[in-house]
Amino acid sequence: MNCIFCKIIKKEISSNIEYEDDQLMVFQDIHPKAPVHLLIVPKVHIDNLDQVGEDHKELLGELVWQASQLAKEKGINQKGYKLVMNCGREGGQTVDHLHLHLVGGKNVAGVL
């Protein structure tokens, strides 16, 4: 598999890792759109949201929960932040590995 996110998860490619547990890895976006722009990525490879099954419900909840915790840690929860999950090329997805963007630290109303 030639997935860049899988290579980051396996630590074959270095990245600015912000958080890691058994299910998720969080790292900084290499092309940030705001002062805080993190990618929350499941360690299991799933191409996109269209590929999730019923057995992924808990994992999807973990993605969103971890985003809320990181927003608090980064101090962007009070003013607001954005969570974005793109699906497919026409939906803006550029890496075929399910991921959630956490974006904040400035007005992000028109970002992503």
- pLDDT tens digits, one per residue of 65-105: 999 999 999 999 999 999 999 999 999 999 999 999 999 99
Q: Tell me how far apart the alpha carbons of residues 91 and 88 are, in angstroms, rounded to a whole number.
A: 5
User: Global pTM?
Assistant: 0.94
- pLDDT tens digits, one per residue of 23-62: 999 999 999 999 999 999 999 999 999 999 999 999 999 9
Domains parsed from the chain with CATH numbers: 4-104 (3.30.428.10)
Structure tokens, 25: 């890895």
| Residue 99 known to be catalytic | yes
Answer whether 9's CB lies under 8 Å from 41's CB.
yes
Residue 112 — very low, low, confident or very high, per pLDDT cuts 50/70/90? confident
Answer whether 66's CB lies under 8 Å from 26's CB.
yes
pLDDT at 1 over 90: no
Q: Which of 31, 45, 56, 99 is catalytic?
A: 99
pLDDT for the residue 59: 97
Residue reference for tokens 């598999």: 1
pLDDT at 110 over 90: no
Side-chain-side CA neighbours of 10 within 13 Å: the count stands at 10
